[in-house]
Structure 1
Amino acid sequence: MMKVLVLGATGHVGSRLANYLHRQDYQVIAASRGRLSGNIPGQIKLDSLDLNGVTHTLKQVDAVVNCVAGNKDSIAKGAEILVQAAIAAGMPKIIHLSTMSVYGGHQGNITETHPFDPDHGWYASAKCEAESHMEKYAAAGGQVVTFRPGCVHGPGSQLWVSRPANLLKNYRLGDLGDAGDGWSNLVHVDDLVRAIEIGLSAPAQAGESVHYNLSSPDSPRWNQYLFDLAEAIGAIPIKRLSRQQLTLDSKVLSPAIKIAQIACNKLKVDSQWLPEPLPPSLTRLFDQQIYLNSEKFSMKYSFVYQSYDKSLQDSVDWYQNL
């Protein structure tokens, strides 16, 4: 029985993964530096920036899945510490969760060989740096499988389900015209979890580093997704929004909302009454003509994604039960 450490186990992907692996009879150590959850088996408190703590825990497992999110230090420095700890712990296999954001502002049909764009914001920069540490691990003789998913939706997705749903209800998203014609590159969280399990069980050689894009091939363009989501949650008639309205919202209203959220957190005041911010990075993505080519993984493992219709219904069911 394989013993697996999941770092970032209380996050959206990490929590789903820990429960899935537990059901598949893996021995799971679910690590998080924050508050533990009663719904996740095998939990421990572990700071991914604590070299000694990570090294000690890695000596107990066969593989580790890096689902750590958060700020730049958590992502980039955390990956560096993970590699140092894994080398010291005897070279367990690393499954590293990256993102399509490493491709930055590039457009077109993007395969795994496409160059990175670390200048496309702090998140892209941190994720590119994290991947560079994974390559160093492989160069030292380690085994690494890196997944670069698109937009992870499905149950539990605040970013790609509850946030757009709330914005649609408030008529701050809708029919975006040509500003919403980019590909959504959606991937259901359960498809990502299944792919990670394949990565864990697949044989690998020392010094091997492989990379896979993950995106459902029937993902629609953003306008279609927003319309389907709006219709499913009853946020219709859908509103037509101009580029000027989106720009005003993302660059004027949303920064003010974000400042208010930060102030509420510092004052320990509930910020749930505040509307959702619409960050400029989101409006740029709606417009970006990037198609995440995921054929490499699908062809190698005969991997079949959930249909868009089922993924959408799973997302809506979760959102309506919040």
Structure 2
Amino acid sequence: MTQTVLVTGATGFVGKRLVPALVEEGHQVRAMTRKPDAYDGPGEPVHGDVHDAGSLADALSGVDVAIYLVHSLDDDDFERVDAEAARSFGLAAAAAGARQIVYLGGLGKDGEDLSPHLRSRRQVERLLGESGVPVTVLRAAIVVGAGGISWEMTRELVKNLPAMVVPKWAETRTQPISIHDVVRYLVGVVGREEAMGRVFEVGGPDQLSYLQMLQEAAEVMLGRRVPILKAPVLTPRLSSYWISLVTSVDVTTGRNLIDSMGTEVIQTDFAIRDLVPGEPLTYAESVRRALAEG
């Protein structure tokens, strides 16, 4: 069934892939951006900024489904900033009569000692739905694709360093997922009654430590593994400075990401595969596609 869909962050890592996929599916898509005059992608560009509540009413007017893809990891006070934006967006979506909000959150078990990053993602889930619009949450770990912060950090580490020193958290397991599968799942839950008000975990088929991810990426990129030494003490702050030296990831974003890497994030619920069938891509194939995209 055709829906009128608003995509926030339409020019971002996920949004710029999601908008054309929704258009191809037959939906009427509004691409929300702070600079609609500069937008040259598919869909209808509309002005809106989740950090400016007054800009949201026009963008959301007549929308059936609003897809929320915004987070502020590059801000030292990202928990407060993201909470305020989510609360405002949920209120505006309810006032506009939206039937569903779809949110891409972070994988990780509830009740654990979550990092500030993952704790913020949970708070955003709750605040988006506080005004009564049913929220569909897709919780993902590392999303692999050209332009994604986590993938670009991995790619640049492998490319720039002949050998690496990694901290203990590099042995923590996670479940990477291709950007292609994330987009497929997001499209698959739009307008679906059975998805409303539910949380779904999404992941690829491989459960890997960050160390294994670096080695698999090196094998695809270089045809060989790279020497890696595990350091017993390397704090998130020190790690973030090191990351910023050898990659294009800034210190604040790096630290906020690394703070989450000590928490195991593994998919334990696979209900999404019943709702949106199809086998997700392996990590190695996700890496090959990311490299092919640039």
Closer/same/farther in 2, CA of residues 57 and 281 from structure 1, 3 Å limit: closer
Give the length in aligned residue pairs: 285
- Alignment of 1:251 onto 2:237: yes
Alignment of structure 1 residues 45-84 onto 2, 5 Å: 45-70=47-72, 71=75, 72=78, 73-84=80-91
Q: Which amino acid in structure 1 is aligned with residue 18 of structure 2?
A: L
| Equivalent residues of 2:62, 2:97 under 8 A apart | no
| Equivalent residues of 2:50, 2:89 under 8 A apart | yes
Q: Give the match's secondary structure for 2:136.
A: strand
Q: Give the match's secondary structure for 1:209.
A: coil
**What are the Cα deviations for residues 179-222 of structure 1, in whole angstroms up to 9, with x where unaligned?**
533223111111111111121131259xx511111111324332
**What are the Cα deviations for residues 25-81 of structure 1, in whole angstroms up to 9, with x where unaligned?**
211110122574424542222111333331222122211101112243552211111
Closer/same/farther in 2, CA of residues 168 and 211 from structure 1, 3 Å limit: same
| Equivalent residues of 1:98, 1:131 under 8 A apart | yes
- Alignment of 1:226 onto 2:214: yes
Q: Give the match's secondary structure for 1:290.
A: coil
Distance of 1:28 and 1:74 partners within structure 2:
26
Q: Give the match's secondary structure for 2:234.
A: helix
TM-score computed with the length of structure 2 as normaliser: 0.82
Q: Give the match's secondary structure for 2:62.
A: coil
Alignment of structure 1 residues 54-203 onto 2, 5 Å: 54-70=56-72, 71=75, 72=78, 73-100=80-107, 103=108, 110=109, 114-115=110-111, 117=113, 120-121=115-116, 123-137=117-131, 140=132, 142-157=133-148, 159-171=149-161, 174=164, 176=166, 179-203=169-193
Q: Which amino acid in structure 1 is aligned with residue 105 of structure 2?
A: S
| Equivalent residues of 1:297, 1:303 under 8 A apart | no
Q: What is the Cα-based RMSD across aligned positions, in Å?
A: 3.1
Residue 266 of structure 1 is matched in structure 2 by none
| Equivalent residues of 1:151, 1:185 under 8 A apart | yes
Closer/same/farther in 2, CA of residues 173 and 210 from structure 1, 3 Å limit: farther
Closer/same/farther in 2, CA of residues 87 and 313 from structure 1, 3 Å limit: same
Q: Name structure 2 gaps, 5 residues minimum.
A: none
Alignment of structure 1 residues 36-51 onto 2, 5 Å: 36-51=38-53
Q: Name structure 1 gaps, 5 residues minimum.
A: 104-109, 261-272
Closer/same/farther in 2, CA of residues 132 and 282 from structure 1, 3 Å limit: closer
Larger radius of gyration: 1
Closer/same/farther in 2, CA of residues 40 and 126 from structure 1, 3 Å limit: farther
Q: Which amino acid in structure 1 is aligned with residue 57 of structure 2?
A: T
Closer/same/farther in 2, CA of residues 316 and 297 from structure 1, 3 Å limit: same
Closer/same/farther in 2, CA of residues 195 and 227 from structure 1, 3 Å limit: same
Structure 1 segments (4+ residues) deviating >6 Å: none
Closer/same/farther in 2, CA of residues 81 and 130 from structure 1, 3 Å limit: same
Distance of 1:173 and 1:201 partners within structure 2:
48
Q: Which amino acid in structure 1 is aligned with residue 142 of structure 2?
A: C
Closer/same/farther in 2, CA of residues 175 and 317 from structure 1, 3 Å limit: farther
TM-score computed with the length of structure 1 as normaliser: 0.76
Q: Give the match's secondary structure for 1:47.
A: coil
Q: Which moved more, 1:14-23 or 1:226-235?
A: 226-235
| Equivalent residues of 1:168, 1:235 under 8 A apart | no
Q: Which amino acid in structure 2 is aligned with residue 84 of structure 1?
A: L
**What are the Cα deviations for residues 226-277 of structure 1, in whole angstroms up to 9, with x where unaligned?**
1121122228551222225x717x534743886x9xxxxxxxxxxxx97656
**What are the Cα deviations for residues 125-177 of structure 1, in whole angstroms up to 9, with x where unaligned?**
4322212213423xx3x3221111111112332x2222112112332874859
Closer/same/farther in 2, CA of residues 173 and 143 from structure 1, 3 Å limit: farther
Q: Give the match's secondary structure for 1:251.
A: helix
Distance of 1:274 and 1:227 partners within structure 2:
17
Q: Give the match's secondary structure for 1:197.
A: helix
Distance of 2:266 and 2:81 partners within structure 1:
28
